[in-house]
Amino acid sequence: MTFALFAEQLLNGIQFGVTLFLMASGLTLVFGIMNFINLAHGSLYMAGAFLAAAVQAATGSFLLGVLVAIPATAALGAALEFGLFRRFYARNHLDQVLVTFGVVLMANEATRLIFGPVPLRMPLPEALAGSIEIVPGLVYPTFRLVVLAVGLAVAGLLWLVVMKTRLGMWVRAGSSNRAIASAMGVDVGLVFAGLFAFGAGLAGLAGLMAGPILAVQVGMGEPILILALVVTVIGGIGSIRGAFAAALLVGLVDTFGRVMLPPALGSMAIFLLMALILAFKPKGLFPVHG
């Protein structure tokens, strides 16, 4: 493997990793704090991509698509939380799996009904469509660099909010002990709804950033959902730090696995990694609860 190829794969791996982090951070927060398994998180990712593509197709503006899709996905998440999922926080995990599974089926079919079975195209504006020569011999697509930067920026912002603000303090308090946080006067219901909407917005952002790279199609949310779940589990459920470390690890292992291993092993590398980690650390790399 030449240096240029190695560097390119390294960037690809990190870029994929930060996309996974955007997905996994919402998942792990919702899980760690509300104790709620949300299989429909991938549907929000799909919603983000479709909304952005539709707005772009209607207006011709990529930026407008992005600006509309993120809050719209967050609103969709808030509506789901308020209308349905809220009733399931106290239920067992089986009921949560079933209800979110039902929502996944509905979301996929509804999307097919509205947008048709043909994948949508998301052309990039000219400023982002080209490539940049980062160092001599290493040419890398501009848009992928933007994705990388946005992902890292969001991760940094998230860290700031969670560790340095009152809101973040509530979130951390809710994460380590829901009952006591609630007794200490944190409006848990409001924090939950806000958190869910926030996670949904991040999933939508991840989805719309994947749009120009992959195809915008029905069912696009499922493979990424499963990888995000793997990230959540490896990192330790409820841990943002764990999610970030695991997302980069999974992104890199997946990218290099596909390049260096035979195809069958390459697509399974992540799952083998997960099995290996959990065999030694059943609660993930950064366990939150005890």
Partner 1 sequence: MAEFDPHRPSTIDRVAPIAAIAILAAVPPVAGLLGDPFLIKVATRVVVFAIAAIGLNLVVGYAGLVSLLHAGLFGVGGYVVGVAAWHEFNGEALGLGPVAWAGTADLAITLPLAGLLAGIVALVTGVVSLRTSGPYFLMITLAFDQMLYYGAVALQKYGGEDGLQILSTITFAGRDVSARTPFFYLALTILAATVFLLGRVVGSRFGVVLRAAAENERRVTVTGIPPYAYRLTAFVVSGVVCGLAGALLASGQQFVSPADMSWVRSGDLVVMAVLGGLSTLWGPIVGAAAFVVLELVLSSWTQYWQLAFGAIIVVVVLTLRGGLADLVKLATQGRDAR
- Pairing of β 138-141 and β 131-135: antiparallel
Please say which residue, 164 or 289, places its beta carbon nearer to partner 1.
289
Please say which residue, 63 or 114, places its beta carbon nearer to partner 1.
114
Q: How many CB atoms lie within 10 A of CB 134?
A: 14
Phi, psi of 175 (to 5 degrees): -70, -40
Query: CA triplet 14, 19, 22: central angle to 5 degrees?
Result: 125
As measured in angstroms, the least distance from the Cβ of 16 to partner 1 is: 16
Please say which residue, 5 or 98, places its beta carbon nearer to partner 1.
98
Q: For residue 253, how far is the Cα from the chain centroid?
A: 17
Which stretches of the chain bind partner 1, using CB under 8 A?
A: 31, 37, 39, 84, 87, 93-95, 97-99, 101-110, 112-113, 222-223, 226, 229-230, 232-233, 237, 263-264, 267-268, 270-272, 274-275, 278-279, 282-284
As measured in angstroms, the least distance from the Cβ of 126 to partner 1 is: 36
Residue 65 and residue 208 in contact, taking contact as beta carbons nearer than 8 Å: yes
End-to-end Cα spacing for the chain: 43
3-state secondary structure string across 104-136: HHHHHHHHHHHHCCCCECCCCCHHHHCEEEEEC
Helix (H) or strand (E) holding 138: strand 138-141
Please say which residue, 68 or 224, places its beta carbon nearer to partner 1.
224
As measured in angstroms, the least distance from the Cβ of 252 to partner 1 is: 17
As measured in angstroms, the least distance from the Cβ of 154 to partner 1 is: 23
As measured in angstroms, the least distance from the Cβ of 148 to partner 1 is: 25
As measured in angstroms, the least distance from the Cβ of 233 to partner 1 is: 5
Q: How many CB atoms lie within 10 A of CB 127?
A: 10
Please say which residue, 3 or 271, places its beta carbon nearer to partner 1.
271
Q: For residue 151, how far is the Cα from the chain centroid?
A: 10
Please say which residue, 56 or 255, places its beta carbon nearer to partner 1.
255
